[in-house]
Amino acid sequence: MTEYIVLGIYLVGMIGIGVYWSKHTKNSEEYLLGGRSIGSVLTALTLQTTSMSGYMFMGGPAQAYKEGYFTLWYAVGDGGGAIFNVGILGKRMRRLSYYLGCLSPIEYIEKRYPGPATRIIAGLIAIVFVYGYVLAQFLSAGKTMQALLHVPLAAAIIIGAGVIVFYTFAGGYLAVAWTDFIQGIIMVASMVTIFVLAWGQVGGLTGLNTALTQLDPTLTGMWGKDNMYEGQWGVVAGAVGVYLIGYMGLPHVVIRHMAMESPKLAKQTVVIATVWNQLFIFVPYIIGLMGIIMLPNIGDPEMVVLTMAYELLPGVLAAIVLVAIMSAIMSTADAQLMLMGTMLGRDIYQRYINKDADDKQLMKVSRYCILAAGVISVIIALLRPPGVFSLVVFSFSTLGSSFLPSYVGAVWFKRGNTLGCVLSMICGCITSIVWEAAGLASVTGMHTFFIGIIVSIAAYLIGSFIGKPPTKEMQDLMDRAACKTKIPAGFATANYKDIAPETNGVLTFLQESAYMENRGFAAV
């Protein structure tokens, strides 16, 4: 009964946040990007909780349970993921997306790399593989609710997904950001509590390693159980790189940069996100390792954390851990549903169906697209897709391979053009799909993400040097995004909410004339 009460309070609270923000969201920019008003703490936690998902409570521990210490390669990369993601993209993407007047990461791609094929290809890839992510989250939610309520998996998926869809549908980006903030705190506190208690049970690191070595020496080696990846440095590089740099290719993650209140917040966001990462990233994998010793006969390794919670904690605290798992799932699923609504509303409906749609129509369509995406995802989730780990890593690898070069090149590589972007998306996506479908990772020793990103970067560079360079106007915008302007630095880094995209002509005049210098401002 305790679990029912705690979970009930949590779910009602999430719904309440959605209702609250539904009454305080007035236009499409607020609904889709929170009015670009998200501060550093909120940005950091929504960025990281969105990245983690139910994978960190189910997929990661399960893989550690099956493969041993090898899975810590994923954690090694993940530990520095925030530094790369925010440090490389944060400021510049925030500025450039504002200058271009973009409300979605796919619209951003199209405006930076203009052309009829850009948005169609980017939209198709994003929609299909973000769906893969959503399916993994709904399956995780179903397993958690099933364990708690002792109901069939289908009913559990419907209950868990229903709450996520509702508050995302009602409150938009601000509801997602604030629920992510609360969920992030719950996630860290719960996982660290289980870790500390289990740590004592196995006798610390020495006791854990001794027990694992006695059971199977290869579990403590760097190549995985039975040395399954021995000598396959391409697999290791992919395991590290997929979460070290892969976040920069995820549309539902990079949209967080676009929603920051100011580019100045990027440095604070990096610090907060990195500290949060170190508290959380390694713990799930180590819990999976401890599960090998503590739960040798568990039927489903994806239930390691949940089972430990019941064995180590009293009823109320165990229920809070269940809530933490739901938090991890919801914090990613809501972001992905929000992105689906943004893409289908802004990038499909307003772009191709009703170009004259006003702000109210766009909000309405985006909301119903979220609802439709949620319903369809639930239906597909009921068909029992693959395990959470494989589904997340595959979707992650494909999205990262498809978009990472284009997002990074958009603000760092002036030569980057439409042909490079299109080739990169197509080649990266196809390579990832073929590599995974044919099982080439085990044959070649090359991780899907590792080979996918290499092919994608090569295609981006080749296409960019063959194709027509970006326009002078676009290159000037990139300079402004990097603060490489001839106007005063203080002006260039001002609060961009006061400078609408429509005032580009005024800024161009200030840059190209002596107006500022004549009034006492020194050019930089």
In eight-state DSSP terms, residue 281 is S
In this prediction, residue 384 has a pLDDT band, given cuts at 50, 70 and 90, of low
- Distance in angstroms (rounded) separating the CA atoms of residues 32 and 350: 14
Distance (Å) of CA 259 to CA 209, 288, 338, 382, 497: 44, 35, 13, 33, 11
The label of the residue with tokens 């609710």 reads: 145
- Cβ pair 357, 365 in contact under 8 A: yes
Extract the tokens encoding 467. Answer: 């194709």
- The pLDDT tens digits for 394-435 are 777 888 889 989 999 988 999 999 999 999 999 999 999 998
Helices (H), 384-447: 388-412, 418-437, 440-444
Q: How many other CB atoms are found less than 10 A from the CB of residue 207? A: 15
| 103, 342 contact by CB (below 8 A) | yes
In angstroms, rounded to a whole number, what is the distance separating the alpha carbons of residues 173 and 26? 12
Instruction: Domain 2-391: give its CATH superfamily.
Output: Sodium/glucose cotransporter (1.20.1730.10)
Mean pLDDT lowest among 150-159, 163-172, 237-246: 163-172
> What amino acid occupies position 30?
E
Going from the C-alpha of 303 to that of each of 4, 19, 234, the distances in angstroms are 19, 32, 30
The 3-state DSSP class for residue 98 equals helix
Q: State the DSSP string of 323-390.
A: HHHHHHHHHHHHHHHHHHHHIIIIIIIIIII-TT--HHHHHHHHHHHHHHHHHHHHHHHTT--S-HHH
pLDDT digits (tens, 9 = 90+) for 437-493: 888 877 777 778 788 889 999 999 999 999 899 999 998 888 888 876 554 444 444
Between 487 and 357, name the one with better pLDDT. Answer: 357
Percent of the chain past pLDDT 90, that is, above it, reads 9
- The pLDDT of residue 285 is 87
The candidate with the shortest Cα–Cα distance to 230, out of 74, 71, 70, 77, is 70
Instruction: Tell me: pLDDT of 316 over 70.
Output: yes
Strand partners of residue 70: none
Cβ atoms 169, 291 nearer than 8 A = no
Reported confidence tier of residue 175, pLDDT bands at 50, 70, 90: low
For residues 218 and 212, what is the distance between their CA atoms, to the nearest angstrom?
9
**Which residue ranges make up each domain of the chain?**
2-391
Does residue 55 have a pLDDT over 90? no
C-beta of residue 317 within 8 angstroms of C-beta of residue 193: yes
Token pair, residue 345, equals: 């509303």
Residue 336 · residue 140 · CB < 8 Å:
no
Residues 148 and 324 sit within 8 Å (Cβ to Cβ): no
Percent of the chain with pLDDT strictly greater than 70: 71
| The amino acid at 294 | M
Among 88-97, 189-198, 327-336, which stretch is predicted with the lowest mean pLDDT? 327-336
pLDDT attached to residue 264: 67
* CA–CA gap between residue 363 and residue 422 (Å, rounded): 29
Q: Of 44-53, 276-285, 495-504, which has the strongest mean pLDDT? A: 276-285
Mean pLDDT of the residues in the chain: 75
Are 63 and 390 contacting, i.e. CB atoms less than 8 angstroms apart? Answer: no
Name which of 397, 295, 282, 238 is nearest 66 in CA terms.
Answer: 295
Residue 488 sits at φ, ψ, to 5 deg, of -55, 140
* Burial group, residue 504, by CB count within 10 angstroms (0-12, 13-18, 19+): middle
Find out whether 407 and 424 touch, Cβ atoms under 8 Å: no
